[in-house]
Chains A and B, each alone.
Chain A
Amino acid sequence: MTTTRPTVLLVGYGMVGHRFLEALADSGAADRHRVVVLAEEPRPAYDRVALTSYFSGRTPEDLLLGEDGFLDRHGFELHLSSPAASIDRAARTVTTADGRTFGYDTLVLATGSYPFVPPVDGRDAEGCFVYRTIEDLRAIESYAAGAKTGAVVGGGLLGLEAAGALKGIGLDTHVVEFAPRLMPVQVDEGGGAALRRTIEEMGVTVHTGVGTRTVLVSAEGRATGMGFTDGSALDTDLVVFSAGVRPRDQLARDCGLTVGERGGIAVDENCRSSDEHVFAIGECALAVDGRVYGLVAPGYEMAATVARQLAGQDPRPFTGADLSTKLKLLGVDVASFGDAFGSTPGALDVVYSDSRAGVYKKLVVSREGALLGGILVGEADQYAALRPLTGTGTPLPVPAESLVLPTGLAAPAALGGSALPDDAVVCNCHNVTKGLIRGAVTEQGCGTVPEVKRCTEAGTGCGSCLKLIGSIVTEELAAGGVEVDRGLCPCFAHTRAELYEIVRVRGVTTHRQLLAEHGRLRGEGCEICKPTVASIIASLAPELPAVSGHILDGEQAALQDTNDHFLANIQRNGSYSVVPRIPGGEITPEKLIVIGEVARDFGLYTKITGGQRIDLFGARVDQLPQIWSRLVAAGFESGHAYGKSLRTVKSCVGSTWCRYGVQDSVAMAIRLELRYRGLRSPHKLKSAVSGCARECAEARGKDFGVIATSSGWNLYVGGNGGATPRHADLLAQDLSDQELIRLIDRFLMFYIRTADRLERTSTWLERLDGGLDHVRDVVVHDSLGLAAELERQMAGHIAGYQDEWAATLATPDRLRRFVSFVNAPGVPDPSIRFTPERDQVKPDLAVLATVEELLRPLDTVPRLSEAR
């Protein structure tokens, strides 16, 4: 049946190839074509732009671009590890290196580029690498394990990124650039100098104005050093060539398609090559303006151009693109946009340079004061606002000099979204204009940045435009008369984080007082603020005057959700489930037997949870104290399954038993679980410890996950399973036990202090200004000077910990609530009944379906003492 549909054959499945498939799917053209993809690499398309994050813990799977099942859903046929070797244009076939032949009606070439390696002696020695694919990075990683020094040939964008990676994996790092300055394509002399100083301060040695003449090679064929054109030499164990890229146009050359003088498959403005059945897109194409684009955004535009034609829509010609870039290289912000070098006739410039701080800013303006371009090094926050203004011809809304002065000096020149015309491109990665973003707010009802992201794709690329999108959304909402209510609930105009600060600083000890002094309503409070405030007070209890640490004392008792109120989890028929704590999932046979006996004696349904413990279902409130007195007697504690607090710390069996394990993950999991048990937080907290990189405990799906390394522990934060899975990000690596615990103490307390109500660490990390970097600054580098206080708070929590169930059983007043009916304490609730299922019980829902059902048998309801 597929033979009736014309075949689109895509050669090359990189970033642009993937975008092309997405565009085919979006435009509906996918249904009308058979789509076949030949990929050279052994895995589907991945995010090459984020390649370097492999070194900070992102796995190849994390980097994949399409969501699961993308290809299957659209019926795209993918052949991995199948490089195309030749094209027969007359027969319209492509043959792969292993000899398979595929026919096509339309051929799309998206073969990207290859790294250029200058023809120096010894360049093939062991220890010489390029920096383009995951395989390249893996090779560098394993070779670097036995190396001390690394040198990068090329001081451009990619070279500096590679240098950052070598530095990050602990090599003594050198950068060698032939031009007299770093990043010669993007920045001028002044910018290059600022960049160089900052990079050298970080301990990377920079050599400019020298060429590499040779790689010195040992007798065994390993690289040992480099010789330069000025006669000097450098000892190095590893060399990364990053001296630019060249379009991969060999296939096209071999079959006689027109290619450019300096490479690139020549295409017209519809991205069609010299053969009408063949298109070329991305880095392998020579665009109609005579340029080969080495950035991803122009490639995406080309992909859309071709997909539109295949869908039969009006073509949207690709005639050229903006080469503006903003990057963070070795932690230095660098941005270059528009006419950065002032080559427009009559161009003037305004420059600010502070070599002490490594800041250099230059704006190029026309005689009339319109912005033509610029270069920002060391401080590039204004890039997002300036780039869209570039080339619009309208004079700047504020004097250009006020834009280059450092923040805090002279007039604050914050350029919000209001300065921009509607057709200004706000998101360069996805070519989204301000007008489109405004439309998303006014016409499609988007009220937040994440909604705008989903609706327009703006901000889903490099992310540099997010702040500007935020200000446009706020301005638009305000203009539409919509007030953005950040308040926790109708009762409070404050966020949870603000209430936390008020409680902490003012020492407020009750919800009543907080509502009276800070609420916007003066009523009862509500089901949202009561438990939230209870949780805040519980988190801060160790430092608040006269607050009991027990959540069922005083006013606290009145604020808790039913789960916290009965220290158990309510289920659909009004019964509760019980989860004793089993730290790290380790349990003795004796304790297992006690759980079994309790479940049997009370007729409870038992199930093993995902957190390596056992859940006992179907208890009536009046049974809970009886159940718990047996569990407490056997040495169990509350598992806090009912609370917004630490649940479990899962673990794999670790080095004690496992032949692969490198650390004792069980001991660490138990230690962490006992340390943080009972800690009240904005949402539940999950954790896990894996004993080796195989990650059997799934630590990266947790709020804080720990993975053993041969020299200690890696700490990951912000992971989540559930409906919106997120892999945790690496916060710090190779930590000792003490360092690990200190960082987790700080991380958790910082989260508790600043998160919104019911905000898991994953969403919190994504929402926070500055994201993971900010959290790392605060938690690891103590940028806010908070670390000591956070640690002290955690110490207070640990010192004040008591088992809530043991403490409840010991106090008659706390036990009073555990009755089905206050006026008939001995009578069980007749609505809670069970029917058999698979040798256990399940709730009898029929009895709940009507009111009458229950009234009839009331005479015969036995007293509790008779029941058991």
Chain B
Amino acid sequence: MTTTATATTATTATATDRVELRTGTDWTPVCDWAALVPGRGVAVLLPDGRQAAVFRDHLGRVHAVANRDPFTGAYVLSRGLLGSTPDGRVYVASPLLKQRFDLLTGACLDDDTVRIPVHSARIGSAQPPAAARQHHPAGPAHRGRNGAARGRV
């Protein structure tokens, strides 16, 4: 389940740039770069119904992990605060019971036996506005688990 994450340095990202997560062989755009506040996250719904938590750290890198907090089962990791350890690992602290998860590996820093899934994330360049509009609201709610569009819009 664990994939190695790619933390993308986004020093050149602009507000209209897209954050994309790898889903199978595709890259799925999930939000505008501008929607991310440094040090915090947002929740996104993936085409197969999974929830991911997407973060922007203080160096402008994006990270994505599963949104589910394994300790409580609640889908809340996107609402945790980011921090970094003395050796520079960036983590998110669950807003419920405060366990910390390394954003690069998914490893729980407070319990060796626990690990959460990590998604590859990147900054895609801005797409033509029309295409973006088409892509964006065609959100996961309208797709089956296999990712095929249902065309219920």
A-side residues, CB < 8 A to B, are 490, 512, 521, 523-528, 530-531, 557-559, 561-563, 565-566, 570, 572-574, 816, 820-824, 826-827, 829, 831, 845, 848-849, 851, 854-855, 858-859, 861, 863
- What sequence of 0s and 1s flags, for each residue 92-135 of chain B, a beta carbon within 8 Å of any chain A beta carbon? 01011010100000000000000000000000000000000000
Contact (A861, B42) CB under 8 Å given A821-B51, A831-B74: no
Contacts of B75 in A (CB 8 A): 574, 829, 831, 848
Of chain A, the residue at the smallest CB distance from B95 is A562
Judging by beta carbons under 8 Å apart, are B141 and A849 in contact?
no
- Bound CA–CA A849/B69 (angstroms): 11
Judging by beta carbons under 8 Å apart, are A858 and B74 in contact?
no
Answer whether residue B64 sits at the interface, using C-beta atoms and an 8 A cutoff: no
- Bound CA–CA A572/B42 (angstroms): 19
Judging by beta carbons under 8 Å apart, are A524 and B95 in contact?
no
Judging by beta carbons under 8 Å apart, are B30 and A822 in contact?
yes
Contacts of B49 in A (CB 8 A): 854-855, 858
**25 cross-chain CB contacts under 8 A:** A523-B83, A523-B85, A524-B90, A526-B93, A527-B100, A528-B83, A558-B38, A561-B81, A561-B95, A566-B79, A570-B95, A573-B72, A573-B74, A821-B42, A821-B44, A821-B51, A822-B42, A822-B44, A824-B44, A824-B139, A829-B43, A848-B72, A851-B68, A855-B49, A855-B145
Contact (A863, B141) CB under 8 Å given A521-B86, A525-B83, A574-B74: yes
- Bound CA–CA A848/B73 (angstroms): 5
Contacts of A816 in B (CB 8 A): 35
Residue in B50, B54, B100 whose beta carbon sits within 8 Å of that of A855 in the complex: B50
Judging by beta carbons under 8 Å apart, are A523 and B72 in contact?
no
Judging by beta carbons under 8 Å apart, are A558 and B48 in contact?
no
Judging by beta carbons under 8 Å apart, are A526 and B83 in contact?
yes
Judging by beta carbons under 8 Å apart, are A574 and B136 in contact?
no
Residue in B54, B72, B144 whose beta carbon sits within 8 Å of that of A572 in the complex: B72
Contacts of A528 in B (CB 8 A): 83
Contacts of B9 in A (CB 8 A): none
- What sequence of 0s and 1s flags, for each residue 17-29 of chain B, a beta carbon within 8 Å of any chain A beta carbon? 0000000000001
Residue in B40, B73, B82, B141 whose beta carbon sits within 8 Å of that of A824 in the complex: B141
- Bound CA–CA A559/B93 (angstroms): 13
Judging by beta carbons under 8 Å apart, are B81 and A530 in contact?
yes
Judging by beta carbons under 8 Å apart, are A823 and B44 in contact?
yes
Tell me, rounded to whole Å, the shortest Cβ–Cβ distance linking B124 to chain A.
Answer: 13
- Bound CA–CA A845/B137 (angstroms): 30
Contacts of B85 in A (CB 8 A): 490, 523
Give residues of chain B (1-59) contacting chain A, Cβ–Cβ below 8 Å.
29-31, 35, 37-40, 42-45, 48-51, 54, 57-58
Known: A527-B100, A848-B72. 17 other contacts (CB 8 A): A512-B58, A521-B84, A523-B83, A523-B88, A525-B39, A526-B81, A527-B81, A557-B37, A559-B81, A570-B76, A573-B73, A821-B44, A824-B140, A827-B45, A829-B43, A829-B75, A831-B75
- Bound CA–CA A562/B39 (angstroms): 12
Tell me, rounded to whole Å, the shortest Cβ–Cβ distance linking A509 to chain B.
Answer: 16
- Bound CA–CA A854/B45 (angstroms): 12
Of chain B, the residue at the smallest CB distance from A849 is B73
Contact (A525, B44) CB under 8 Å given A557-B37, A823-B139, A848-B72: no
Residue in B30, B42, B83 whose beta carbon sits within 8 Å of that of A527 in the complex: B83
Contacts of A831 in B (CB 8 A): 51, 68, 74-75
Contact (A526, B84) CB under 8 Å given A574-B76, A824-B139, A858-B140: yes
Tell me, rounded to whole Å, the shortest Cβ–Cβ distance linking B149 to chain A.
Answer: 12
Of chain A, the residue at the smallest CB distance from B100 is A527
Q: Which of B43, B80, B85 has the most CB of A within 10 A?
A: B43
- Bound CA–CA A65/B48 (angstroms): 64
- Bound CA–CA A509/B84 (angstroms): 21
Judging by beta carbons under 8 Å apart, are A821 and B74 in contact?
no
- Bound CA–CA A530/B68 (angstroms): 23
Tell me, rounded to whole Å, the shortest Cβ–Cβ distance linking B132 to chain A.
Answer: 11
- Bound CA–CA A628/B93 (angstroms): 28
Contacts of A829 in B (CB 8 A): 43, 51, 75
Tell me, rounded to whole Å, the shortest Cβ–Cβ distance linking B15 to chain A.
Answer: 14
Tell me, rounded to whole Å, the shortest Cβ–Cβ distance linking A670 to chain B.
Answer: 33
Contacts of A574 in B (CB 8 A): 74-76, 96
Contact (A823, B141) CB under 8 Å given A558-B38, A849-B73: no
Q: Which of A526, A565, A827 has the most CB of B within 10 A?
A: A526
Residue in A524, A559, A855, A859 whose beta carbon sits within 8 Å of that of B84 in the complex: A524
10 A-B pairs with the lowest CB-CB distances in the bound complex, closest first: A848-B73, A526-B83, A523-B84, A824-B139, A858-B49, A524-B84, A562-B95, A527-B93, A574-B74, A562-B79
Judging by beta carbons under 8 Å apart, are B37 and A823 in contact?
no
Judging by beta carbons under 8 Å apart, are A562 and B141 in contact?
no
Contacts of A565 in B (CB 8 A): 40, 79
- Bound CA–CA A820/B85 (angstroms): 29
Contacts of A512 in B (CB 8 A): 58
Contact (A570, B79) CB under 8 Å given A561-B95, A851-B68: yes
Contacts of B82 in A (CB 8 A): 524-525, 527
Judging by beta carbons under 8 Å apart, are B45 and A823 in contact?
yes
Judging by beta carbons under 8 Å apart, are A858 and B145 in contact?
yes
Contacts of A855 in B (CB 8 A): 48-50, 145
Contact (A858, B58) CB under 8 Å given A527-B83, A527-B98, A848-B72: no
Tell me, rounded to whole Å, the shortest Cβ–Cβ distance linking A390 to chain B.
Answer: 48
Contact (A524, B39) CB under 8 Å given A570-B79, A574-B75: yes
- Bound CA–CA A668/B140 (angstroms): 54
- Bound CA–CA A826/B49 (angstroms): 15
- Bound CA–CA A524/B61 (angstroms): 12
- Bound CA–CA A99/B68 (angstroms): 72
- Bound CA–CA A829/B57 (angstroms): 25
Contacts of A557 in B (CB 8 A): 37, 40
Contacts of A523 in B (CB 8 A): 58, 83-85, 88, 90
- Bound CA–CA A244/B140 (angstroms): 87
Judging by beta carbons under 8 Å apart, are A827 and B139 in contact?
yes
Residue in A525, A823, A851, A861 whose beta carbon sits within 8 Å of that of B136 in the complex: A823
- Bound CA–CA A149/B28 (angstroms): 88
- Bound CA–CA A209/B84 (angstroms): 74
Tell me, rounded to whole Å, the shortest Cβ–Cβ distance linking B55 to chain A.
Answer: 10
Contacts of A563 in B (CB 8 A): 95
Tell me, rounded to whole Å, the shortest Cβ–Cβ distance linking A618 to chain B.
Answer: 13
- Bound CA–CA A854/B141 (angstroms): 13
Tell me, rounded to whole Å, the shortest Cβ–Cβ distance linking B58 to chain A.
Answer: 5
Tell me, rounded to whole Å, the shortest Cβ–Cβ distance linking B27 to chain A.
Answer: 13
Contact (A524, B139) CB under 8 Å given A530-B39, A570-B76, A823-B45: no
Contact (A827, B141) CB under 8 Å given A562-B79, A822-B30, A822-B44: yes
- Bound CA–CA A509/B76 (angstroms): 29
Tell me, rounded to whole Å, the shortest Cβ–Cβ distance linking B24 to chain A.
Answer: 15
Residue in A527, A848, A863 whose beta carbon sits within 8 Å of that of B80 in the complex: A527
- Bound CA–CA A562/B94 (angstroms): 10
Tell me, rounded to whole Å, the shortest Cβ–Cβ distance linking A250 to chain B.
Answer: 63
Contacts of A822 in B (CB 8 A): 30-31, 35, 42-44, 54
